[in-house]
Structure 1
Amino acid sequence: MTDLAWPWPAGAATGIGSLPGTDIAEAQRVVLGELPALPHLPELPARGPGADLIGRTGGLLVELPVELYAARWRIALRPGRDLRRARDLMERDLDQLTVQAEEYAGPVKVQAAGPLTLAAGLERPLGGRMLRDPGAVRDLTGSLAEGLRGHVADLRRRLPHAQVLLQLDEPSLPAVLAGRVPTESGLGVYRSVEESTARDLLRTVVEAVGVPVVVHCCAADVPLELIRSAGAVAVALDLDLVTKLDPLGEAIDAGLGLLAGAAPALPTPGGPAPTSARVADRVRQLWDRLGFPRTRLARQVVVTPACGLAGATPEHVRAVLAACRDAGRRLAEE
């Protein structure tokens, strides 16, 4: 493998995105305090509709307004209050990040749903998920690409000294590829999307935004080669769900960065709090099993929680983020 420069410093740690609570100012303080090498824009789904993954990303779409109908997000005929709420929440979050990180000069990460997960979670105006109509999925992807390009440009204006990374959350990607997304009745499933089509959709977004892109998938059977060939700089995984080492080793050897989900997103009842030593060992053991030299580990790998932390207590959040941060430092010092 040729030498590559990954868009984060050696020994970095970051969060996946979501945190508990409804106070964005406090959430941003926690992230900037605990993850100084690679902070992210927190997501607070406890605030309700518009703060969830699909609604939050839907608010970024261009010329495709969204609305809530029967507790599900769908494409609307015209903009309404649901869309305004989603956009207002995002604007409030960006304002808070601007206030607290105005002079920040390192990498910063923002998150949004990827095109396949968005197509699997968003409904058409007349019913049925967008996934049902390949033409609608292409239009949705184009709208998402344009919206995320504007979102990234806005963040760059707000934080002129920072380097922006975009994380595309694709938890539904394996199910979309395998034809496992259920229809509304629950009696059937949507037709599978071919890997080449999914790769092209992902690549459309990756190429549009003009910044490094990480694809996060907290599911089994993550299509690593698809993600790498779509142009992503890294993949974010839950290490507990990695069962096949060869595909991961091949992707890493080809230069794909790894956001290694090595710390528990939820506390173990009656168990100890995560420690940096234990988290570092998880990452180190995987790296050794893959057979790569330790000298590459701290540059190519970012330490993260296993998944989002929306269901955790504030105390666990601080313990997990601190453990990830210090684990990254341990790996960088070896």
Structure 2
Amino acid sequence: MNELKNLIPQNWDYFTQQFDTNVLFITVASFFAWIAWRLIYGRLELLVSRTSFHWDDLTLSALKTPISTLIWCWPATISLGFLLQNHMSSTLNWLSTLKLILVIGIFVWITMRLINNVETFVLDQKNRDETTVQAIAKVARLFFIVIGALTVMQAFGLSLSGLLTFGGVGGLIVGLAAKDLLSNFFGGMMIYFDRPFKVGDWVRSPDRQIEGTVERIGWRMTIIRTFDKRPIYVPNSVFSSIVVENPSRMLNRRINETIGIRYDDGAKVAQIVTDIKHMLENHPDIDANQTLIVNFNAFGPSSLDLLVYTFTKTVNWIRYHEVKQDVLLQIMAIIHQHDADIAFPTQTLKFDPVRTEVPTASTL
């Protein structure tokens, strides 16, 4: 046993003493600090739940996990310093840098969680513009990440002035090398600020074979889901050079139909036109303030053509077809009320009688 003790380093007793008196104390203190934080958090959570102000809930939720992490990691760096200070010949200045990086990381983490909480809360409000909220959240995240990264670089002793100078030259090089990437980035910014469409809108382009529902607007590309459920990934720079139509923002949907009446019912056309126009003016789903035309329009090959041109109040695609069906059925009923009928393609063939010569005696 004595020989085994001789094999143990001479400073083992000091190391054990230091561990017992310092590290153990710090660990126990961290545990009690964490318990105190949990109790305080529970009390604060109970208090903020009683208020009608939602921002305190979002802020408290953002603080929960980062503060718990800080309570354990900050004392851990102190304990690490106690364990290493007598076993390393060099100074432990890097521990101070590590503590500063820890604080910066916790601050950025709290900010990211708060931004995410606010974004989720605002998007749950149905009257908010989803595209604008997401754009502001992305810019805020990017801003705090850049600030955090610059602060960490400064903590490592890097000169920010030199870094910014290098960034100017490097930015020029990167800009030339990543021209398409930057054009997509600024194309995304154009979409966010001009807002020609937003997430959930139905868009199409007459210049390209692009039509569907906007599913996501990213910094580099926009995802559009076609009506047959295929995703289309469109680089944002494309939208700066094409025409984009947004049917989701239409105010009305149009009914534009040509209805043929039989030529035999020509005397009844005027009254039919009057009744159809009166029906449309009083229809609950037709916008009478918009252009409304019902007129005898043309002599067709086999019908007297009536033009019915009006707009529905609804812009919903399914509801529009229901309204259009009701309008067409009522038009057909009005035509039948006048003992008339809708024409169908017909042809009239006219035969001239063939003369038959009776033979005479002179021709025999």
TM-score normalised by the chain length of structure 1: 0.20
* Structure of larger gyration radius: 2
> Which of the pair has the greater relative contact order for Cα pairs under 8 Å at 6+ separation?
1
TM-score normalised by the chain length of structure 2: 0.19
